[in-house]
Amino acid sequence: MVDRANKPSAIAPSPGLPQPRVNLSDDNSRVTATLPTGESVEILLHGATVISWKSGGVENLWLSEKAVLDGSKPVRGGIPVVFPVFGGPPANHATSTLPSHGFARNSRWEYLGKSTSESGALSKGGDDCVKLDFGLYTATLSEEAKKAWPYDFGLVYSVTLGKDGLQTMLNVRNEGKVAFEFQMLLHSYFRVKDVSKVAVKGLTGVTYIDKVLNAQIATESNPAVRITGETDRVYQSIPQDTTSIVEADQPRYDVVRDNLEDSVVWNPWKEKAASIGDFEPKNGYINMICVEVGSVKGWQKLDGGETFEGGQIIRSSP
Ligand SMILES: O=P(O)(O)OC[C@H]1O[C@@H](O)[C@H](O)[C@@H](O)[C@@H]1O
């Protein structure tokens, strides 16, 4: 055998790349995931509520110090999932006996497992993001909720943590033969340093219902919506996909809607925060703003076997 002068050296086996770490707590109450680059997310099985999302070492979500995390009531803060009705249910509708914002945020979801994907919206290749799936079905619903909303449904909520952001998607499936109508909303509480320096952009020209002003209907003329008092507005049929939260003129969060047309902008301000028992500290309204993506104008209707999927990608600039 002739020895080649420029024999290639043996290819070294590629060292194991660091993987995302995923942990289900010993009491089966929460799932945490951390990327090798340091980003992390924490989700309670109660409500499939994301209660923490950190990037660049900074917490992006506001969580009340008095938030009840034991499953006895919805979580005040993080990202509660609102389904199948937004706000107080209307009389004469199939949701009429449900609690405000529905049952999803107050039900125990099942953890369906993790996957890493190279093709997701937040992936740039390799194992650089992790997707956590949670399920809620008619069979696992409380008897009370089952009675109040007697449809055969399945929800899969996927939370994907990437280096560049967080994606949360809700998939709704009608598992039965009878059609049902629903609304959905992802009630994100964003953490800010000082809400008086915040502007919400991307809503110009959009019609909204002002819940603080007796549900008066108005059109947003301001390219930068500022929060100067109690704010509770339901922006409808928004043509622009992205709503941006800017703080002290610096980009802070971009909220990109996926197959959802509406967004609620909410801040309780001083008096309302004082009246909410689990809202602490009482001046915490200074450090939060809710921009909640959803489908809340009218109803989504699903016939038997049909599915709907909608959600958001949030990018943070800490
Ligand atoms: O206190 P809850 O049920 O969590 O709701 C908080 C707020 O949620 C917002 O989505 C509503 O527009 C507000 O009207 C409401 O006050």
**Reported pTM:** 0.94
pLDDT digits (tens, 9 = 90+) for 157-186: 999 999 999 999 999 999 999 999 999 999
CA of 87 to the centre of ligand 1 (A): 7
Substitution candidate for ligand 1 out of 49, 79, 101 with most atoms within 8 A of CB: 101
Neighbours of 298 (CB within 10 A): 12
Distances in Å between the Cα of 284 and the Cα atoms of 160, 211, 234, 280 are 28, 21, 22, 6
**In terms of Cα–Cα distance, which of 189, 197, 177, 217 is closest to 302?**
177
CA of 100 to the centre of ligand 1 (A): 8
Substitution candidate for ligand 1 out of 64, 79, 187 with most atoms within 8 A of CB: 187
In this structure, what are the phi and psi dihedrals at residue 71, rounded to the nearest 5 degrees? 90, 5
Instruction: Please enumerate in sequence order all residues whose Cβ is within 8 A of that of 249, keeping only pairs 6 or more positions apart, or say none.
Output: none
Name which of 65-69, 119-123, 294-298 the model is least confident about: 119-123
Using a 6 Å cutoff on CB, does residue 187 contact ligand 1? Answer: yes
CB 46 within 8 Å of CB 104 = no
CB 90 within 8 Å of CB 69 = no
Neighbours of 276 (CB within 10 A): 15
Using a 6 Å cutoff on CB, does residue 264 contact ligand 1? Answer: yes
CA of 10 to the centre of ligand 1 (A): 62
Report the alpha-carbon distance of residue 195 to residue 53 in Å, rounded.
19
Is 292 marked active-site? Answer: yes
Q: Note the pLDDT of residue 127.
A: 73
**In terms of Cα–Cα distance, which of 177, 221, 184 is closest to 103?**
184
Q: Is the pLDDT of residue 270 over 70?
A: yes
Substitution candidate for ligand 1 out of 266, 276, 290 with most atoms within 8 A of CB: 266
- Pick the catalytic residue: 187, 220, 247, 261? 187
Distances in Å between the Cα of 96 and the Cα atoms of 83, 85, 215, 302 are 13, 9, 19, 18
Q: Tell me the pLDDT band of 2, cut-offs 50, 70 and 90.
A: very low
CA of 249 to the centre of ligand 1 (A): 27
Using a 6 Å cutoff on CB, does residue 272 contact ligand 1? Answer: no
pLDDT digits (tens, 9 = 90+) for 212-241: 999 999 999 999 999 999 999 999 999 999
Take residue 87 and report the two structure tokens written for it.
Answer: 């706000």
Is 175 marked active-site? Answer: no
Structural domains of the chain, with CATH: 22-316 (2.70.98.10)
CA of 239 to the centre of ligand 1 (A): 24
pLDDT digits (tens, 9 = 90+) for 20-52: 999 999 999 999 999 999 999 999 999 999 999
In this structure, what are the phi and psi dihedrals at residue 152, rounded to the nearest 5 degrees? -95, 105
